[in-house]
Structure 1
Amino acid sequence: MMEKIRAELEKSQLWLEKIKSELEVSSHSHSYDLVILDDIFPLRLSAFRIAEYNYYLEAFSRSLVLSTGTAGMLKQNYSNLSEVIVDYEKFHPQFKGRVREFDQNISINAKLIYTVFINNIFYFIQYIEKNNIPFVFTLYPGGGFHIDEEATNHKLARVFASPNFRKVIITQRNTYEYLLNNNFCNPKQIELIYGCVVPSHNLTSNLYEKKSYRQNKVTFDICFVAYKYQPTGLHKGYDIFIEVAKNLASKHDDFHFHIVGGHEPTDIDVSLLENNITFYGQKTTDFFPDFYSGMDLILSPNRPAFFPGAFDGFPTGACAEAALSGVALFCTDCLNLNVAFKDREEIVIISLSVQEICESIEYYWENYDELSELAKRGQLAFQQVFNLDYQMNPRLRLISEYIGTKYSVKQRNN
């Protein structure tokens, strides 16, 4: 009888341990090597996050993403985060269950926290310290990072003073200078990885045949690709792009202009362009290989004009994706951030003058062979700097140092 009772007790104990284990899994309370915190993931419109975070999920089996789902872009396209996760898991079933909604009332046990942008790390800093977890973050341009702005400096000072701070990844040289000049951290705490993470493997595999002006298409196609953060898109140069389009279309009937990213015909009057302009709305990565195969040139006359001190990295993610796809890149560099690409050989650095932009475009329109060669050289240069593995390997090495876990990913030759 006693043996039977003991057996039943052991069964009950095993059952309780199983339930406890399941509860721990569901509440994120068991130990992870890496936990990524974010506000928009896994929204597929944020292509660079999909590329970067998926890479971590693949490389570290004991990793997890917790998302608030509070970003404006997400709310504009979905009613709640659960819908976004369902959509994401359709395209990435291998990561099912590894992206969950963030709950500040649930503790986590992890070796390292990672996120991107100053706004994100500032939002999560108290939660991170409460759980006493070391953190690394990437200080990209944007996301609340404005040069010489009081609110930004307050956030940076708070984050870098945290006892849990270990290292910051930066992507632009002016960011490096800013952090050191303001004594936010020391050089040993900074990892400079120029550029940004883009889904190069999706853009350079299964390429569509490139279409060339006067060879297998009759139009000279120029595109503008940038998310619509404000109606007139001033900081991305949408207003300048439209003026350039009007100027060129008034003189040449074979120019066609393409707008991707959310801008609409009512944002700025485009009635003079009639049938020479097409609007596509917001698009995910899978749209672009076919789209870019028909583009001759991407024009990005962006300038730091959104908020005082705000700036884009050079080049923008959209520009990098276009160049990787074999499109000639014409862009501004108002802050002299370019350190990798040769002007007039691999890209064309433009001013903010509509007349000068038009003259430059018309030169290459008349000398199309030169434009084709420039696009090819640019594509090769961008494949070196923005190759996904090239961008991610130093990030993986850095994270591995802090979690003490070797990473394993399938290398991609792109």
Structure 2
Amino acid sequence: MNPLRTWWRRLWLKRQPWAILDDFFPNLLTGFRVAEYNAYLQAYPTLRILSTLGDFAQRHAEYAERYPEHAHRVQFFTEEALDGCGFAYLNFLNNAVLFLPHLERRRLPFVLTMYPGGGLGLNEAESDDKLKRVMSLPGLQGIITTQRVTADYLRDFAPRHGLRLPPLHTVTGVVVNPLYFAPDMPAHGAYFGEGKPTFDICFVAEKYMPRGENKGYPEFIAMAHALADLPQLRFHVVGSFTPDDIDVQALGERIRFHGRLETSQMRSFFADKDLVVSPNKPWTLHPGNFDGFPTGSCVEASLCGVAMMATDVLKQDPGYAEAQAMLIVEPDDAAGLAQQVRALVAEPGRLGRIARDGQALSRRLYAPERQIGERMRVLDDAAAQVGLGLR
């Protein structure tokens, strides 16, 4: 932004406290929220974060231990906490619906980031009803979309239902923790085929339904069984999955379950992994449901130097396949996954090339100045439209 324009705008805009409204922060497991909200707390001195998280006190204590400089501005939500608040920001459709009565009653201007998930479904009745309620609010100053399919859907949805389409701002991808760009980022070790004897393949996701069908966990395990004749392979599962979800006894000690990991642990975990597999499937968790591409877990793995292999049913690839910086696979195709892995074993030098090219592209696409900087510009401009200055 032009410095002179910024100075003039700050001169005439009314500076007023504002808030981020959330239902899960400050849980440290929500890495993208921690990264995004901490950046805003650093940049905006009048900002507070108000949360309805059920175990807020415990999670706030953990957050305060890690980020003591911000903790006093992260508070449990009450109606009175909105007194004097002039602007709001939210992530996810369900979050906007949760706080909708307060936004409506106080006529708060707000911006919403419409991530995949969180209640958003394409051509799904319940989601569409939520969209209509949120988009009917006169205070909605803009929507940030992170996937092209979401922006396209909103452009069609608004006129179809006689709704005003607020300004749409596309910032492809997700905010990742700045630790993935920090100078002390662990360097990735040697890859399989470049002096490393084992080929370490990982699956990183949360389990939101039995067997993790929407994330493609059954296909990952079926792939592992199909590759049992390759003794150099090792399999790793990160998230809430356990050996009880699908029988893995035949894999013995070649598969390991690591549980949930925070960002600092993830960086170390990925430092010696070769490939992350994400065979996720849209429309599976509930009608209309879909994930971003690549998933946040894939992005984090790629930033650490891990090669990606993922499905892209909705054709959302921002350029990885064209740059030969990842492998695109089909859903419901464990045999296809196994075939791709066998090809990498047969040509091991290719694995490192895909990983390094993917890491370089991920570092450009998910650089903090791009992901967070563009969001800040949207927030500043949206607040200025109603005469407010956030800084």
**Normalising to structure 2: TM-score of the pair?**
0.90
Question: Which residue of structure 2 lines up, in the alignment, with residue 117 of structure 1?
Answer: 92
- Equivalent residues of 1:201, 1:388 under 8 A apart: no
- Equivalent residues of 1:260, 1:280 under 8 A apart: yes
DSSP 3-state at the match of 2:29 = coil
- Counterpart amino acid of 2:315? N
- Counterpart amino acid of 2:24? I
2:232 is aligned with 1:232: no
Question: Which residue of structure 1 lines up, in the alignment, with residue 292 of structure 2?
Answer: 313
* Whole-angstrom distance in 2 between the partners of 1:205 and 1:241: 33
Question: Which residue of structure 2 lines up, in the alignment, with residue 131 of structure 1?
Answer: 106
* Whole-angstrom distance in 2 between the partners of 1:406 and 1:146: 32
Change beyond 3 A, Cα 1:342–1:318? same
Question: Which of 374, 391, 394 is equivalent to 2:354?
Answer: 374
DSSP 3-state at the match of 2:277 = strand
Question: Which residue of structure 2 lines up, in the alignment, with residue 33 of structure 1?
Answer: 17
* Whole-angstrom distance in 2 between the partners of 1:46 and 1:57: 16
- Equivalent residues of 1:34, 1:60 under 8 A apart: no
User: How much does 1:186 deviate?
Assistant: 5.5
Question: Which residue of structure 2 lines up, in the alignment, with residue 335 of structure 1?
Answer: 314
Change beyond 3 A, Cα 1:156–1:104? same
Change beyond 3 A, Cα 1:204–1:318? farther
2:169 is aligned with 1:191: yes
The 5-angstrom pairing of residues 200-219 of structure 1 reads 200-202=178-180, 204-211=182-189, 212-213=191-192, 215=194, 217-219=196-198
Change beyond 3 A, Cα 1:194–1:295? same
2:273 is aligned with 1:295: yes
User: How much does 1:406 deviate?
Assistant: 6.7
Question: Which of 177, 200, 212 is equivalent to 1:221?
Answer: 200
How many residue pairs are counted as aligned between the two chains? 367
Change beyond 3 A, Cα 1:234–1:204? farther
Gaps of 5+ in 1: 1-30, 71-79, 408-414
* Whole-angstrom distance in 2 between the partners of 1:393 and 1:34: 18
* Whole-angstrom distance in 2 between the partners of 1:371 and 1:201: 25
DSSP 3-state at the match of 1:287 = helix
* Whole-angstrom distance in 2 between the partners of 1:392 and 1:143: 20
User: How much does 1:335 deviate?
Assistant: 1.1
DSSP 3-state at the match of 1:253 = coil
DSSP 3-state at the match of 1:321 = helix
- Between stretches 237-246 and 350-359, larger displacement belongs to 350-359
Change beyond 3 A, Cα 1:351–1:107? closer
Gaps of 5+ in 2: 1-14
User: How much does 1:206 deviate?
Assistant: 1.3
DSSP 3-state at the match of 1:235 = helix
Larger radius of gyration: 1
* Whole-angstrom distance in 2 between the partners of 1:349 and 1:202: 24
The 5-angstrom pairing of residues 333-412 of structure 1 reads 333-343=312-322, 345-352=324-331, 353-401=333-381, 402=383, 404-405=388-389
Question: Which residue of structure 2 lines up, in the alignment, with residue 257 of structure 1?
Answer: 235
Q: Which digits, 9 at most, give the CA deviation of each residue in 1:70-103, with x for residues without a partner?
A: 4xxxxxxxxx211100100111111021101011
Higher relative contact order (CA 8 A, sep 6+): 2
2:226 is aligned with 1:242: no
- Equivalent residues of 2:193, 2:349 under 8 A apart: no
Measured on the aligned residues, the alpha-carbon RMSD in Å equals 1.7
